[in-house]
Amino acid sequence: MDKKVREKKFSAFCRKFLLAFIDVVLFFASNVALVYLTNGGQIEGIGYSNELLFNYTHAIITACGVIIINWVMGLYRSVWSFAGIDETVRCAVAAVLDTAFLFAVDRVIFPKFFSTINKIGFYAYLFEIVLVMFCIAFLRIGYRVIRRSLGEIDNKFIKRSTKKRVMIVGAGFMGNFVIEEMRKTDYKIGVPICLIDDNPAKKGKRLNGVKIVGNCEQIPLIVKTRRIDTIIICVPSASKLRQREILDICLKTSAQVKISPSMTEFLESPNSGKKIRDVEISDLISRQEVKLDKKVCRYLIGETVLVLGGGGSIGSEICNQVARYNPKCIVIFDIYENCAFELQNELKNKYADIIDINVRIGSVRDIERIREVFREFRPGVVFHAAAHKHVPLMEDSPCEAVKNNVLGTYNVACVSAEFKAKKMVILSTDKAVNPTNVMGATKRITEIIIQYMNQKYPETVFAAVRFGNVLGSHGSVVPIFKQKIAQGGPVCVTHPDITRYFMTIPEAAQLVCQAGGLANGGEVFVLDMGEPVKIMDLAKNLIKLSGFEVDEIGIKIVGLRPGEKLYEELAMESEISTRKKTSNNKIFVTMPEEISDESFNEMLEKLNTVNSDNVREVLKSIVPNYHPAEN
């Protein structure tokens, strides 16, 4: 056994032994007090004192009984720092049982085996219960009271120190936990100066020695008057909208802003030191993250799942989400080996004993390579996340977008149908709706391909999922903003009024998995994305979160890039009237369109003849609502 573990166990044993010894001493003291109070202030010369109270045998028997009873009641397993109502109830029950045992020793055991005749009255034992209860409970509850009082004194002295001054928003369980963590770590994070809570009944009261001084609307004033350096938001039970409102108020101050985890994160995280974190960009989205129905994903159990583009930001998260449903095998297919290799190691560390994890390198442009992978693994479920997604780059290399996004998707769909895969789900984008760029137009064509393949090959269910911008993905604007801030600015925004829909990577991956379970064939699934976010506001908030003022870093308007538009749409006008909600009211589905063999074959012929001169003309002939954005 490790030496430190042995030392901790020995230390715990010593604490329990000491507590048991103190319980026995206090129990004996309560007996002495009882005799004193019930005999007119006399102790010596009383028959009960001579025969029982100061009898060694009597003392040993009662001491053993008290320790056993208190042990059974769990009084030596409790945490003194959090002693409360439950502890008080245990103490009360233990006091009754201890007194009952004393009564049995006095009235039954000693008269029968030691022929004692002296005793105290029945009423005295009722009084004994109160005395024992006071002694046992005071020892435990008193510790917490004294510790809290000392904490208040400690705060008064430590507030004058050079450590960071901290305001905690939320005088509940999480706020109390954060104060405890700060004390345990010797105030490395900072010193709790005050608490904020919107409940007016709490104002003026103290939580763990820290005073509640106002509500959230008063945060800017209190930060200024109390010279607060750091604000920690501890309201995990509040709605996402309310959390965002509080965050907006805090960002208007000069203080650094941090946030406590959600209750789920709090319970799952084994490392208490990582509970308090910096505010993340996902915290700036006012809508609640969509929680999807896990039952829908049961189709993944025991399946062989192929994820094309599995090494990318979304593809890797799809692999992680799929792994939770205990598939037989996960095949990661990607052209870039480094990310795929890292993901394979990550998944093997978690699931090596239960899931077969494989990586195959290749391109979706190579249909023979795709066939090799299908022939080797025979996947039942295919998630296609391989694509060129950067809008400006695809404007400069439009033919590559066609080859990879369109023809690559067609290759995967053909092989999926050839090997009779049960399901194939592709990732599309909101830029496919009334596209103004090559990337969006190619993605709209992939939706058409999926709908055609679904009606042509009914043995495989084909579906598409339409995303907004995914926070933290390789194509997201957030990493670009962070890089600019790190370089000292300015942050470049294309237009002051530009807006985008945002979702998190886990949301995107869950939506893909859900689509596979909900799909009947040919549908395009769209997540309810809430209200769009202004990119200008996003840039300002990122600057504030990085510890700077907007004027320090600066924001530069550079004009819309080629193919970029001011706002994105989630559905075309023709789809809005026919789209429906699924069993999850946050997921919409557009019904498949009928596509003739003739028109589809004509489309393929056009795509196979694209070159740098005619590519946009070909795309417009296939997607009539494709038109360049105004620049």
The catalytic residue positions are: 431
Q: How far is CA 452 from CA 1, 11, 352, 517, 604, in A?
A: 65, 71, 38, 20, 12
Within its chain, how far is the Cα of 353 from the centroid? 26
Q: For tokens 């994105």, name the residue.
A: 568
Distance from the Cα of residue 316 to its chain's centroid: 18
Rounded Cα gap, residues 211 and 206, in angstroms = 4
Q: d(Cα 123, Cα 383) in Å, to the nearest integer?
A: 79
Residue 66, strand partner residues: none
Say if CB 63 and CB 27 are below 8 A apart.
yes
Tokens 């600019």 map to which residue?
484
Structure tokens at 187: 């105030």
Rounded distance, CA 309 to CA 316, Å? 8
User: Which of 400, 373, 375 has its CA nearest to residue 384?
Assistant: 373
Cβ(544)–Cβ(550) below 8 Å: yes
SS3 of 41-79: the string is CCCCCCHHHHHHHCCHHHHHHHHHHHHHHHHHCCCCCCC
Q: Among 521, 522, 529, 533, which Cα is nearest to 588's?
A: 529
How many residues are recorded in the chain?
631
Task: With beta carbons less than 8 A apart as the criterion, state whether 525 and 383 touch.
Answer: no
Rounded to an integer, what distance in angstroms lies between the CA atom of residue 29 and that of residue 23? 10
**Residue 98 near residue 66 (C-beta atoms within 8 A):** yes
CB 545 within 8 A of CB 482: no
Residue type, 7: E
Helix (H) or strand (E) holding 4: helix 3-38
Instruction: Report how far residue 172's alpha carbon sits from residue 260's, in angstroms, rounded to the nearest whole number.
Output: 12
